[in-house]
Structure 1
Amino acid sequence: MTTDVWLPIPADEIDGLPDPAASGLTYRFWDGDPDFPADPADCAFYVVPYMKPMGVAVRPLAAMTSVRVVQTLSAGIDHVTPGLGSLPPGVALCNAKGVHEASTAELTLALILASLRGIPGFVRGQDREEWRDGFYPALADKSVLIVGYGSIGAAIEDRLAPFECARVVRVARSARATERGPVHALGDLPGLLPGADVVILSTPLTPDTRHLADAAFLARLKDGALLVNVSRGPVVDTEALLAETGQGRITAALDVTDPEPLPAGHPLWHARGVLISPHVGGSTSAFMPRAKRLLAAQLTRFAQAEPLRNEVLTTT
């Protein structure tokens, strides 16, 4: 049985990994370099390099004939799913639930507050030595709709609590009850959108959520609503968003775009009322400690033949 583990972080930098001598695991460092660290056929546990293009993430998969676990360091798995069809049956795909919640929720609040309070305009005013006073929208008393109420959506709600929002409405793939209140199903969105002042997209990218925020979705938003996307760029129909923001009817704050990276000259760069950050929701100082703890815990479970955490699917 193969025992190679491919890690995008050097093993000697991760506290708590199973001891190679006791576990039989062999750690190989690979962060997406052109040359593989060993024969991919000998890899049993593949940790996908973080913040690398899809082509890098899936490149070794077809040759990983003995792999048993594919572990991402991202919450989303859309960058590896195109390569899963080349894997043998029974391979567990696990995501990084627990790693990105704090950072992504922080940025979500930063984008909301910056957009509502006019921070981009203040920065431009400072550059021009202009004093841009006046009244600006507050987050207080706003109705907030979170579309995608998983662990990140819940972390966002945690951070909304002190801001005196009028209400927080939750939406996920299917309806359920929580201690905080009901979670609505995606099918309820048409009736919920008109009442929202701020709509936060924190949903995974799936066939059901691609272009979820299309022309019909955006048309249901009230005048002056703010759309915040911290999920994946294709969850929003870019052309539809440009049409709505071009009229000045709604505003948007985007940590992700479609296309991404956003090329020079793209109209989103200068779209009216649009604030863009370069997909940095999870890439903060909080990432590495949490990622290392996740890998140590997962590999300890793997070495001891215990059930893994964060399993999203198993190949067939």
Structure 2
Amino acid sequence: MASLSARQLLNSLQFGICVIDIRAVRKAAGGSGLHPGDAVKKLQDLGLNVILVVYDDGEDGEEASHPGIRVDKLLLHRAALDDGAEVIRVAAEYECAFAVPARAGEASWPWTLQMPYRLWAQSAAPLCEVHFTVEASGSFTARLPEALKKHLRKLRFQKLPEVRTKQPQPQDFKEPLQWDSGQACILTVSRGERQEWLLCIGELGESTLLQEASHLAYFLLETHGGDSWSEREDDPCITEALCEIGGDWGGSRSTLLTAACGPHAGLRGLGIGSNKKQRQRAALLALAATAFAQWAGEDGTGIATCAPE
């Protein structure tokens, strides 16, 4: 395995393939209820072909038949050694991306990992090491290195129907918007081949708007009662979009509110903050502002949103 320069390595990598170890997924999942097939499906949904490292005879058919998995984008690899490092060996042989639990790092590699593979992983990790986490709810999140993100964005752009480029699109602000009470941005959230644009409001400090958030939302949504909206914490697609912005946004937790009834049913607002109450109030303000933008527009248009199916 010859040593390559950074540029040679970048040109040689197969960014469309990712290796993941079934036992690493199961260990990270714990008692959350996540099935390893769900992790495979998530990686496939991102546009990756997946090589799944398996160990037992029964795992082959079980994973290949998991609902939603595309068998044409899945390769099962029987591990030659049961030391936890097979994911590195396979990735080095294919010169492709590999997924490991977040914060695993080089220190977790066993002494049985041969030096050529170890050196390859040290060079390739910044370009193609995917870090994954599993929440207690069973939600699987994959954090991609920038080089891999660029490759997948390029693929998604190539797959978009030509007609989409002729349709007006909401402005995608690359930097957060500054306003008197805090920060806000229009966040582009990718959900497969579809995109959703959300008004996202950040930390509000001691703003008086915090106390008025629910009143504004009820008034502008023309609803009342606790069932006026549904709530979701830390949507994986939103987490990935926030990470792409970076800075304080990248490490933030989020609350997504969706209007459940009234003339604005389906409208969404996003809030981030250091605790649940701040996130919910920020999301209510975002929801109210989005409703106002649509309601106040002379031609009936405003901030465009697209709720996932």
Q: TM-score, normalised by structure 1?
A: 0.25
Greater strand share, structure number: 2
Greater helix share, structure number: 2
Q: TM-score, normalised by structure 2?
A: 0.25
